[in-house]
Structure 1
Amino acid sequence: MAASIPAADTLARSAPLRAAQDFVLQLKPHCHVLVAVSGGGDSIGLLSALLAAKTISGRNDIQLTAATVDHGLRPEAADEALWVGAFCAERGIAHHTLVWADDKPQSGLMVAARHARYRLLSSLAGRCGADVIAVAHTMDDQAETFAMRASRGASTVLTGMADKTLIEGRHWIARPFLKIGRSAIRDFLTLNGLSWIDDPSNDDAHYERVRTRQSIQETVETLAADAEKAAQARDRLSRSAAHLFAGIATIHGATVAQLDIDGLLGAGDAARYLLNILVPALGGLSYGPGGDVLDRVTALCTAPHGARMTAGRCLFERHRGHLFILRERRGLPETEIAPGGSAVWDGRFCFENRSQAALRIRPAGPDGAGDADAFSGLPPRLAHLAAAVCPVAMDTAGKQVLPTGVYLAPFDRFLPGFDLTLANMMAAAFTHAAYREPAATYLR
């Protein structure tokens, strides 16, 4: 069934449709958009608005595909996915149901579900050739996210969600409704005679987001406006950190950062921002160490030559006018990869097993196995430590297998658009492939 197009006066006062039209007009010719649709009002509103905006804008070259993720957490989810499939079929939109079939964790379930959802969407985008994934996060979601992060305490700078995020280094997620209120989307749906599914978990106060939603009902617009200002500030700060990185940092063998202390101490918030990303990149973690550790690192920079500390799985050492940061030797894993499999070792290096036998990866240890040339510019003691924290992988024939690439843990799962400039500057220094620019992926 063809999408109904609201009358012109309805369009003029329909914020969701205007937002969808703005998004559609930015897309490159013949762009393929994968729309995440749970069946709730926000996602049904997004899909319906995009479908109408295509026609209104004369952009029938754009292809829409819908996907529903069944997390396997509620028995009703399968029926809801069927309902979305029927909704899409009536409108000539291809629909896929994606099931999270993995074992569910005992703690951190919502975080694990979010990661699984984006992983499934990214995988489908690759299979169906989608250029961008559109999700229906709203102004209300933005306000809730900003409030939750504020309650936890921000380690460097407080922001909400970015309007675009790169997932798994492959696909951009766009949020066309990030400045649209949830009530406006419901009004749009009601005006056009469209129904949606209400998820009872959205009212379950066991979840932090639900409790936050209930507590900020009177301040959503103010919080969303604060989040937008914070996003602009974060974008500026990240660009300053990128400029700082270019001026004071040298990366040795994708393992050691050498930072000029005078430049670091003179950079204020940009230095803290840079450290909060650089430390997890070297330590193989997704998130930075936070404010207390950054205070200790700053103090270390003014300590005598030879002073050192550990935090965030990293060793920090002052050596004359430089601060060196590298993975500490504790807790390095031993990993086995099955034939044909792949894995990320220690959150830092990618391996593929192209043989017919298991591939074992271990830390090099005291004897070292790193590239001597990569560490030749380091003080001898640090060069030895750097070699020791590199991986060694041997096949059954005793031949060493080299990593297939570097993994930048802060960016390779989720890269918010705020940090794209900094991420690509660090990627070049770590010999990591450049991250995809939105303009080269799905925008005109």
Structure 2
Amino acid sequence: MPEAVIAAARRFLKSFIKPGRILVAISGGSDSKGLLIALHEALDTHEFNGFSLAACTVDHALRPESAGEAAAVGAFCAGLGIPHRIGHWQGDKPRSGIQAAARRKRYDLLAEAPAAFAADCIVTGHTRDDQNETIAMRAARDEGRGPGSAGMAAAMLFGRRIWVLRPFIRVRRADIRTFLEARGIGWLDDPSNENPLFERARVRARLAVAEHAPGSQRDGLLRAASSARAAALLLEHLRVHEGLVAEVAAAQAGRMDDADWRRALMTVAAVIGGREHPPGRATVERLSGFLRSGEVGRMTAGRVVFDRRRDGLYLYREERDLPLLRLGAGESGSWDGRFTIASLGPALTISAEGEGGMWRQRLIAAGLPEGIAKRASLVAPRAEPADSAGSGAETAAARLECRIGPYDTFLPGFDRSMADTIALLFGRDRYAPPPVEDVLTEMEG
């Protein structure tokens, strides 16, 4: 149904809180080309005054033809009067995990383009077919219907700075191709999409002959509801001290049969451990058994100590593999995956505080048991002038901010409530809201 393509584009434009410039990520394939044309035609009706388009193509330089293909896309955009730029992946490419690395680099390069065009968001041509493949791959890894069954969100915040929106997430690829064919517009086919060396290509081939596709749009709504409940549980039962220790009320600590609480606690654990992902299934099962038992003791998982005491549960970073970070004057960087640290003056060296620093007294003053305060302070960051590192000199010429590893790079729209709650618990502001309303319903249809 080609009309579904235009309908999705119009519904998407109507969902904006205010008009703006939309940056279309276009590869030259049917999905992204169909998205560009559908938006261009919708805006040409003058119903959506104040909107405009720009476009960006990422040349991954993984095939000899890629540079010419990117240039051809640029020429196609020029013919429509749409400004276009090409982002180039320069330098050596990894020998393994190439698709994951390419995805991350693609978003890195796309995120640079909005500033050049004063764009308010990025849109991609992900389709219902892509969604089904994603759900199938995550189901195979999760071995069940966990949070991954929701698939890709209709909206995703990348790098805390730009929203990536997916207007076609409920549109079939076949409809997009029919839409383009009716207009006499061709597209490029990336051979990697058919290469059985890649997981997505294998899943795509399997789904092509399957009678039923996995997942449904309702899974996204269920994921959002789960995240909202998880956020409420965190606010009620968990406190964070100085970004270093998460304290859980004793009565809540062992309730690991509650899926929403378990996901909330494991996400907080990822933040405490400086990780982008919560612990794996086997680790969570082991931790759940320990916490449900109610026994006093400690268990370590994912670089985090789960310290169970009679008065509650305490999570803090374990004391091993703590890095050394050197920052030039005015520079910033990530330390241990837990803190973003910026030099406000001279060059700095960031290391673990160790014994006798200020963090221990601050944690005790916050009401933590002395043993917890001592262990947590040993893994706290210490900033010293680079020319006096190791001398014990203190400096205030640094700004620290907690990193929220699971969400600071990719924040799915249906996890916003939990992400905002965790950010506030760790002393951060809420994440920037998307430029559209009701992304779960408007864009999913």
Query: TM-score, normalized by length of structure 1?
Result: 0.91
Contact 1:279 1:314 in 2 (8 A): yes
Cα distance in 2 between the residues matched to 1:21 and 1:361: 51
Aligned mate of 1:213, from 204, 209, 228: 204
Shift of 1:232: 2.0
Number of equivalenced pairs = 430
Residues 376-406 of structure 1: per-residue CA shift (max 9 Å, x gap)? 3111011011111111121236552433321
Cα distance in 1 between the residues matched to 2:221 and 2:209: 24
Matched to 2:3, the amino acid is S
Matched to 2:400, the amino acid is T
Shift of 1:275: 1.9
Shift of 1:106: 2.5
Are the structure 2 counterparts of residues 277 and 103 from structure 1 closer, same or farther at C-alpha, using a change threshold of 3 Å? Answer: same
Contact 1:370 1:387 in 2 (8 A): yes
Matched to 1:352, the amino acid is A
In the alignment, is residue 293 of structure 1 matched against residue 289 of structure 2? no
Contact 1:368 1:384 in 2 (8 A): no
1:248 equivalent in structure 2: 237
Shift of 1:375: 4.5
Shift of 1:305: 5.3
SS in 1 for 2:90: coil
SS in 2 for 1:151: helix
SS in 2 for 1:404: strand
1:366 equivalent in structure 2: 355
In the alignment, is residue 232 of structure 1 matched against residue 221 of structure 2? yes
Contact 2:121 2:165 in 1 (8 A): yes
2:94 equivalent in structure 1: 105
Aligned mate of 1:409, from 398, 405, 410: 405
SS in 2 for 1:246: helix
Cα distance in 1 between the residues matched to 2:13 and 2:47: 10
Identity of aligned residues (%): 37
1:275 equivalent in structure 2: 265
Instruction: Please give the residue correspondences for 1:49-64 in structure 2 after superposition, counting only pairs within 5 Å.
Output: 49-56=38-45, 58-64=47-53
In the alignment, is residue 381 of structure 1 matched against residue 371 of structure 2? yes
Matched to 2:339, the amino acid is F
Aligned mate of 1:82, from 65, 68, 71: 71
Residues 76-101 of structure 1: per-residue CA shift (max 9 Å, x gap)? 11111101110010111000100111
Instruction: Please give the residue correspondences for 1:38-57 in structure 2 after superposition, counting only pairs within 5 Å.
Output: 38-56=27-45
Of structures 1 and 2, the one scoring higher in RCO (CA 8 A, sep 6+) is: 2
Residues 214-246 of structure 1: per-residue CA shift (max 9 Å, x gap)? 0111348632xx242322221111111101001
SS in 1 for 2:112: helix
Cα distance in 2 between the residues matched to 1:368 and 1:109: 43
2:415 equivalent in structure 1: 419
Shift of 1:312: 0.6
1:9 equivalent in structure 2: none
1:196 equivalent in structure 2: 187
Contact 1:251 1:257 in 2 (8 A): yes
Instruction: Please give the residue correspondences for 1:17-28 in structure 2 after superposition, counting only pairs within 5 Å.
Output: 17-28=6-17
Residues 144-181 of structure 1: per-residue CA shift (max 9 Å, x gap)? 00011111126843321011100001111100000011
Aligned mate of 2:130, from 113, 131, 141: 141
Aligned mate of 1:257, from 243, 246, 266: 246
Matched to 1:402, the amino acid is A
In the alignment, is residue 432 of structure 1 matched against residue 428 of structure 2? yes
1:179 equivalent in structure 2: 170
Cα distance in 1 between the residues matched to 2:437 and 2:344: 30
Contact 2:124 2:167 in 1 (8 A): yes
Query: TM-score, normalized by length of structure 2?
Result: 0.91
Cα distance in 2 between the residues matched to 1:74 and 1:353: 41
Deviates more, 1:40-49 or 1:153-162: 153-162
Cα root mean square deviation, aligned: 2.2
Cα distance in 2 between the residues matched to 1:333 and 1:154: 35
SS in 2 for 1:392: strand
Contact 1:33 1:131 in 2 (8 A): yes
Cα distance in 2 between the residues matched to 1:195 and 1:108: 31
Matched to 2:349, the amino acid is R
Aligned mate of 2:337, from 347, 351, 355: 347
Cα distance in 2 between the residues matched to 1:130 and 1:71: 22
Contact 2:59 2:89 in 1 (8 A): yes
User: Which runs of 5 or more structure 1 residues have no equivalent in the other structure?
Assistant: 1-11
Contact 1:316 1:324 in 2 (8 A): yes
Shift of 1:411: 0.6
Instruction: Please give the residue correspondences for 1:85-164 in structure 2 after superposition, counting only pairs within 5 Å.
Output: 85-153=74-142, 156-159=146-149, 160-164=151-155
